[in-house]
Structure 1
């Protein structure tokens, strides 16, 4: 696929009638989203240059985007995810990493048995969930991304370890995740 792209935010609803649009920022410091250069769609087909940003609340900002001059143009951007190339991010501190760095790592249980590969990390409001795609047939495993359930992240070894407690016995062919 080429360069790795990192999701850094998403356009929200228009703000006012002059073409401003809300941006939900996923960066550590929300305003940093404007410092990474042009933001693109996942496939890189469209680029967006942020001309100005102002805080709205928490991780929500109001942006003026080049080429977006009215409310209708801003509305067409709603729910567009915003990406940057991985190499535009600053290097992580020691013992820190970006979620994208986990994608592709082998997921193994505590005995070393391969469960699959990390496909991504999602968050639907209750915390980060590690998506593990099995190498063969089977359902994607969803593992709470906490130290209790993922006690080891080994970048040099190319793996993450999933604790036994994260997996319940199979029921009707599906692997299930403990909610604890």
Structure 2
């Protein structure tokens, strides 16, 4: 089976006729209607969008076979996936998160850092999570400055590690600003 890509997440029930709030992760929110049946993460359940309309920051959608509020409430939190090949091709310097997961992460000097574990977005931009062979994961901005090269064919991302993080100074003599009278 090909890689699955998460394109939406079902939210709370909306109204009494089986509608739900639907958060889409596609450039065009209504694109979820054109991919055919959407799958649960395990691939065991299929959902087909019957109707969808725009709301403030999400869609209000109904699925075929879901006609009551109780049925809709049981769907809350389910992530919906499609096979990678059903998605449109990306532009240059655009990537689906699933294409990046598992790639080797190397420094600009070619030293191994680990593997790409995830891409996150907590509202302030994309963050790339790198899992080293040992130790804790690194969270870095997924920007051109920090990730100057993504080589999908070569199976790697190049990471330009920040030289210094402001305020990350362990020398207690320089841990506070100098004041008048300081040596």
Q: Please say whether Structure 1 and Structure 2 have the same fold, judged by a TM-score greater than 0.5.
A: yes
Quote the Cα distance in structure 1 between the aligned partners of 2:96 and 2:163. 22
Contact 1:144/1:166, CA 8 A, preserved across alignment: no
- Alignment map for 1:3-152 (pairs within 5 Å): 3-58=2-57, 60-134=58-132, 136-152=133-149
1:120-174: CA deviations, max 9, x gaps? 211122221111122x221122111111211111223221111121775x99xxx
3-state SS of paired residue (1:69) = coil
* 1:94–1:148 CA distance, 2 compared to 1 (3 A): closer
Matched, 1:164 2:158: no
Contact 1:106/1:160, CA 8 A, preserved across alignment: yes
Deviation at 1:72, TM superposition (A): 1.2
* 1:7–1:167 CA distance, 2 compared to 1 (3 A): farther
* 1:152–1:167 CA distance, 2 compared to 1 (3 A): farther
Quote the Cα distance in structure 1 between the aligned partners of 2:149 and 2:123. 24
Equivalent pairs, count: 167
* 1:166–1:61 CA distance, 2 compared to 1 (3 A): farther
1:83-124: CA deviations, max 9, x gaps? 111011012234432221111211011111111111221112
- Which aligned segments of 4 or more residues in structure 1 are displaced greater than 3 angstroms? none
3-state SS of paired residue (1:14) = strand
Contact 1:149/1:166, CA 8 A, preserved across alignment: no
Quote the Cα distance in structure 2 between the aligned partners of 1:120 and 1:42. 16
Cα RMSD, aligned residues only = 1.9
Matched, 1:153 2:150: yes
Contact 1:143/1:166, CA 8 A, preserved across alignment: no
Q: Which runs of 5+ in 1 are unaligned?
A: 172-180
| TM-score, reference length from structure 1 | 0.86
